[in-house]
Amino acid sequence: MSGHSKWATTKRQKAVVDAKRGALFTKIGNQIAIAARQGTDPAMNPSLAMVLEKARHANMPKANIERAIARAADKSAAALIEEVYEAYGPGGVGIVIEVATDNKNRTMPEVRHTLDKSGGRMADPGSVMFQFTRKGVIEISEKGEDALMIALEAGAEDATEEDEGIVIYTASSDLMKVRKALADAGLTVTSAELQYVPNNYVPVEGENAEKLEKLLGAIDDLDDVTNVYTNAE
């Protein structure tokens, strides 16, 4: 388990797949609406450009994207608020939960209830966050020494090769610069976003690992949750 891992369960029925896709589009739509507050032109708004790229990779319909952007200018729409919650999971691992909500009084109790019933608990602000650093995380589909060298020369702080390509870490302020350099070098960028990356990892095995996976999946299934990070290894 790693800080950039995306938690999901096996989907066997089409209805379940469709529901998951709908929930994913809702989450990305909220992120688009928030990013679009800084401007609706992605060429002038790097935050929006990154989320739109995420939407394209998720095959989000163009109409959904346009509605999410329009929501930023809709004065009658409920305002979305970004919140970050901190929690502990089985085995004492740290969890960081990002949400986008139009009702904090609904979202926080939902997150707390999900944690409580799944072996976790809400933590005091700051008690978990110090174990993470906000970084740019870029994924490319290429592998090998040449791609690693290009990433490091582009300004990456670190890069690791994994099954589906290379994961590249940057300072938060360098994310867009490094992403552009990678694309200009002909590499295939499949994801680029800011994430909470663990400073160190906590080993989790056996029953605790199973409980943690179920807990993280349950949290991620909440409509208002946009991202979940853990320092579990």
Q: Give mean pLDDT, residues 69-98.
A: 86
Q: What is the pLDDT of residues 18-54, one digit of tens each?
A: 446 677 888 888 888 888 888 888 888 888 888 888 8
Query: In this predicted structure, what is the pLDDT of residue 75?
Result: 62
| CATH code for the domain defined by 81-130+201-230 | 3.30.70.980
Closest CA to 46 of 31, 56, 35: 35
Q: Give mean pLDDT, residues 131-151.
A: 93
Q: Which residue has the tokens 């004492």?
A: 92
Closest CA to 169 of 190, 141, 197: 197
CB 212 within 8 Å of CB 230? yes
Residue 8 pLDDT class (50, 70, 90 cuts) = very low
Alpha helices in 61-134 (DSSP H): 62-71, 104-117
Query: In this predicted structure, what is the pLDDT of residue 77?
Result: 60
Query: In this predicted structure, what is the pLDDT of residue 26?
Result: 86
Q: Give 132-198's CATH code, choosing from 3.10.20.810, 3.10.129.10, 1.10.1040.50, 3.30.70.980.
A: 3.30.70.980
CB 68 within 8 Å of CB 48? no
Query: In this predicted structure, what is the pLDDT of residue 156?
Result: 95
Q: Residue 155 — φ and ψ, nearest 5°?
A: 115, 10
Q: Give mean pLDDT, residues 70-80.
A: 72
Q: What is the pLDDT of residues 58-68, one digit of tens each?
A: 889 899 989 88
pTM exceeds 0.85 for this model: no
Q: Give 14-71's CATH code, choosing from 1.10.3720.10, 3.40.50.2000, 1.10.10.200, 1.10.10.10.
A: 1.10.10.200
Could you tell me where in the chain the CATH 3.30.70.980 domains are found? 81-130+201-230, 132-198
Query: In this predicted structure, what is the pLDDT of residue 107?
Result: 94
Q: What is the pLDDT of residues 153-207, one digit of tens each?
A: 999 999 999 888 999 999 999 998 999 999 999 999 988 889 999 999 999 999 9
Q: Which residue has the higher pLDDT, 9 or 130?
A: 130
Query: In this predicted structure, what is the pLDDT of residue 68?
Result: 87
Mean pLDDT over the full length of the chain: 85
In sequence order, which residues have a C-beta less than 8 Å from that of residue 145 and are 6 or more positions away? none
The Cβ of residue 30 has, within 10 Å, a number of other Cβ atoms equal to 23
Query: In this predicted structure, what is the pLDDT of residue 76?
Result: 58
In sequence order, which residues have a C-beta less than 8 Å from that of residue 212 and are 6 or more positions away? 1, 89, 90, 91, 93, 119, 204, 230, 232
Q: Give mean pLDDT, residues 115-132.
A: 95
